[in-house]
Homo-oligomer: A and B are copies of this chain.
Amino acid sequence: MVVYSKGFLVWFTGLSGAGKSTLASSLHRCLHERVLRSELLDGDEVRSNLSKGLTFSKEDRDINIRRIGFVARLLARNGVAVIVAAISPYADVRDEVRKQTQAEEVPFIEAYVDCPIDVLVKRDVKGLYKRALSGEISDFTGINAPYEPPDNPEIHIHTDQESSDISLSIILEYLESNELIKNIEK
């Protein structure tokens, strides 16, 4: 049986379509099956609850990320294993959230979901890259808005090279080896 003893925050960052939400859901299900308390804050869903009306300008994106960070910290400092999946393209705001989280003695685990842009454009599951490339969507991360990859993420996932099972096991191993979740004999 796996249990966790204190709250923590796993923050998935990466381009649209790289696999953040899928991986976050798998991790959430996995933690949920094995531990008491876990919450998934998915960027799109949280946006409708916390940030309706905000645009995709840098300023508004930063506000959105700060709000997600605020809620995530409140949960994590109360012992919840919090998972965030949000493009969160700007390094400075991610680092701001990291510092605020660590200041409350909550472990912050940045998980970079990495996939080359040409692979994403080719996949284009939602057809968003096509619309961004044609100029129909503006401020689209990776096409006409910047993405600043983490310099030194705790976890680096390559969804173009690994199966989702492998990616998930890399994350679980990180959490176990850092004693955020534990293997306990029944």
Contact = CB atoms under 8 A, between A and B. Distances in A.
B78 A49 contact: no
Chain B CB count within 10 A is highest, among A39, A63, A66, A78, for A78
Contacts of A137: none
A80 interface: yes
Contacts of A80: 78
Nearest to A81: B78
Contacts of A74: 39, 71, 74-75
Contact of A37 (B67, B71, B78): B78
A56 interface: no
Contacts of A70: 49-50
A86 to B, nearest CB: 16
A79 interface: yes
Contacts of A79: 37, 78-79
Contacts of A37: 78-79
Contacts of A126: none
A144 to B, nearest CB: 25
Top 6 A-B pairs, shortest CB-CB distance: A49-B70, A37-B78, A78-B80, A71-B71, A50-B67, A39-B74
8 contacts: A37-B79, A49-B67, A49-B70, A50-B70, A52-B63, A71-B71, A78-B78, A78-B80
Interface of A: 37, 39, 49-50, 52, 63, 66-67, 70-71, 74-75, 78-80
